[in-house]
Chain A
């Protein structure tokens, strides 16, 4: 078996009685773009800070090319990082900021100058060399920070919610830049965010963090189509949960009863909270009819929202649980539909999931 490029082995971090990271295990391939996705307090940033060397884990190890990094202080890890806040050195020009890591490494001047030029070209900020950080916009500052972090060719680049201070449009623009720079430099990137769209847009794989552990690692489509836990199902894509009764289970498939109808062959996931079984349905995978189908749920329309190319129909099942359906604009089922109408909602059992 080959040694993985970067390996996080059973990392645990306690701050007094608080457990920030419970048990994180992860293998990252060279050149991969892996995102830590999770809500605040899920341990994703702490894990990143441990990789940066700002914190030592209570337990566990991190290995780069098979060698432990824990004994190496931050300044010798040769890891790049872009922070959430603007961390350019305010007293130095853009050029000097990018040159900083090279100067502390005592590289010859012509080499530094050439590298600074390369980096400015990479982040498309040629001609900004002599500006001070305060004279630049937030997006430009983060691009300079990216150039500074890549100037010394780090094997791993850490990014801790670098775009959270920017507005949506600028964020998308820089996401695009990051994607391009990743392809161009082939650097391994570990990216922290709480924004699922950002994670889906950027990453090769996503590690979903919840309460100090990784619930699931996979590509965006994998997480969407096959969420391992209820938390992942909620975090990636939209979903509704209906309480259901489990009739029998076999080979990770379950037969469940919801609102009087029986659905069989629904994918079953053992993991999740112990509070009884729930059927997870995605609004875009549901069908809506006025007549009962063979396998369908009775519901009442509570609201209809027009969302451009989609129409969002909010309904409530007989048991009073909310269930949303998203249909393309102009779908025949919607014409003439109004609040209070009785409808039948159907779905393909394979697209639903049962969480125990």
Chain B
């Protein structure tokens, strides 16, 4: 393999690059790693040494429900974002670049708009007397307003909206990299649109979809603002639970335990992604 021959050179470059990242690493160690470790330590040290916090966390149906809610909402948000994001990314990729630039501007502007403002906007839209309910009732589709906010439905809608760019941007990049001649070749080989989509286009976009989906899933697992504002008190998500332990109950032990569970899940998914994407780039072009 050619990479074996090039190895010493790559190693030198890597060493040099590592040196230049030292200040950043030190900063991270001081202000991120140390606090995280101290928080995790408190989860096994408070109120006394032992795993009692984990036993309580994983043994109680209330807390398990929070975990379930979190994974459920994250999974639904990921799937819905993919379903909506793929056609959008595809359209963007084949659209004349002038129009694509406008759509991108809208996408990025919404990403840069304050998160709280965007979430409150969804509250206005989704509430009982909000735009959506009023419109549906005005059209006679429903008699009573739908409960679209202060529950997991509201959380899912709000988070899907926030996560969409994180799916669309990597997918757009992947689709743009596909040579249109490959799709022309598929057409001449006799593949109809559906076959070209399922046998060529979708398999080629798997790396982009995997990257986007994992990013959205992992971000959703620890998301706080949107669940806190659009969710109800009865259906909490994990980040809200951690905040409650630390801020209201001042129970650092339980907060740390919940944070560790979240961290382990996130890191596991990240490892899976690394493995997966690594395989893809080896087999791809």
A196 contacts across to B, CB distance below 8 A = none
Residue in contact with B182 in the complex, picked from A74, A76, A79, A87, CB distance below 8 Å: A87
User: Do A90 and B204 touch (CB < 8 A)?
Assistant: yes
Contact of B185 with A by CB under 8 A: yes
Q: Which residues of A contact B191 (CB under 8 A)?
A: 75, 100-101, 104
- Known: A83-B181, A89-B182. Contact between A75 and B188, CB under 8 A? yes
Q: Is B189 an interface residue (CB 8 A)?
A: yes
User: By the criterion CB–CB under 8 Å, are B192 and A75 in contact?
Assistant: yes
Which residue, B179, B189, B191, has most C-beta atoms of chain A within 10 A?
B189
Query: Inside 8 A of A77's CB, which chain B residues have their CB?
Result: 188
Q: A54-B184, A83-B185, A85-B179 are in contact. Are A101 and B284 (CB under 8 A)?
A: no
- Closest A residue to B202 by beta carbon equals A91
A219 an interface residue at 8 Å Cβ cutoff? no
- A91-B282 Cα distance, complex, nearest whole Å: 11
CB of A89 within 8 A of CB of B186, answer yes
A54 closest partner in B (C-beta): B184
Assess whether B179 is in contact with A104, with CB atoms less than 8 Å apart: no
Count, chain A residues at interface, CB 8 A: 31
B249 at the A interface (CB under 8 A): no
Assess the A76–B190 pair: CB atoms within 8 A. yes
Nearest CB in chain A to that of B206: its residue = A91
Interface size of B as a range: 20 to 34
How many whole Å from B220's CB to the nearest CB in chain A? 28
Q: Is the CB of A90 within 8 A of B188?
A: no
Is A104 within 8 A of B284, CB to CB?
no
Q: Is A80 an interface residue (CB 8 A)?
A: yes
**B284 lies within 8 A of A100 (CB):** no
Q: A100-B191, A104-B195 are in contact. Are A134 and B185 (CB under 8 A)?
A: no
* Chain A residues positioned under 8 Å from B206 (CB to CB): 91
Chain B CB within 8 A of A148 CB:
yes
With an 8 A cutoff between CB atoms, is A52 at the interface? yes
The reply to whether B195 and A132 form a contact with Cβ atoms under 8 Å apart is: no
B190 touching A91 by the CB < 8 A rule? no
Residues of B within 8 Å of A208, CB to CB, are none
Q: A79 is contacted by which of B181, B188, B283, B285 (Cβ under 8 Å)?
A: B188
Q: Are A148's CB and B189's CB within 8 A?
A: yes
Interface residues of A in 56-87 (CB under 8 A from B): 73-81, 83-85, 87
Q: Is the CB–CB distance between B189 and A152 below 8 Å?
A: yes
Check A169 for interface membership: any CB of B closer than 8 A. no
Indicate if the CB atoms of A78 and B184 lie closer than 8 Å. no
Q: Are B285 and A75 in contact (CB under 8 A)?
A: no
Per-position 1/0 for A81-118, Cβ under 8 A of B: 10111010111000000001101110000000000000
B283 touching A134, Cβ below 8 Å: yes
Question: Which B-chain residue is minimally distant from A84 (CB atoms)?
Answer: B181
Please, how many angstroms separate the alpha-carbon atoms of A76 and B190 in the complex? 6
**Residue A52 contacts which of B182, B188, B199, B283 (CB distance < 8 angstroms)?**
B188
Q: Chain A residues with Cβ under 8 A from B189's Cβ? A: 75, 100-101, 104, 148-149, 152
Q: Which of B188, B195, B200 has the most CB of A within 10 A?
A: B188
Q: Is the interface of B mostly helix, strand, loop or mixed?
A: helix
Given the interface pairs A75-B192, A76-B190, A152-B189, the reply to whether A91 lies near B204 with Cβ below 8 Å is yes
**Cβ contacts under 8 Å, A89 to chain B:** 182, 185-186, 200, 203-204
A52 contacts B184, CB within 8 Å? yes
B179-231 interface (Cβ within 8 A of A): 179, 181-182, 184-192, 195, 199-200, 203-204, 206
Chain B residues near A75 (CB, 8 Å)? 187-192
Within 8 A of A (CB), among B156-188: 179, 181-182, 184-188
Given A75-B191, A104-B199, A152-B189; A91-B284 close (CB under 8 Å): yes
Q: Which of B181, B204, B284 has the most CB of A within 10 A?
A: B181
A224-282 at interface with B (beta carbon < 8 Å): none
Q: Which residue in B184, B190, B203 is a CB contact (below 8 Å) of A105?
A: B190
> A100 to B179, alpha carbons, bound, how many Å?
18
* A282 to B192 Cα, complex, angstroms: 52
Within 8 Å CB of B188, what residues of A? Answer: 52-53, 74-75, 77, 79-81, 149
Q: How far is the CB of B178 from chain A (nearest CB, A)?
A: 9
List B248-271 residues whose CB lies under 8 Å from chain A: none
27 contacts between A and B (CB under 8 A): A52-B188, A53-B187, A74-B184, A75-B187, A75-B188, A75-B189, A76-B190, A81-B185, A83-B185, A85-B181, A87-B185, A89-B186, A89-B204, A90-B204, A91-B203, A91-B206, A91-B283, A91-B284, A100-B186, A101-B191, A104-B195, A105-B190, A133-B285, A134-B283, A134-B285, A145-B185, A148-B185
State the A residues within 8 Å of B (CB): 52-54, 73-81, 83-85, 87, 89-91, 100-101, 103-105, 132-134, 145, 148-149, 152
The 6 closest A-B pairs by CB, nearest first: A101-B189, A87-B185, A74-B187, A91-B203, A104-B191, A75-B187
**B residues near A, CB below 8 A?**
179, 181-182, 184-192, 195, 199-200, 203-204, 206, 283-285
Given A83-B185, A90-B204, A104-B189, 5 new contacts (CB under 8 A): A87-B182, A91-B203, A104-B199, A132-B283, A152-B190
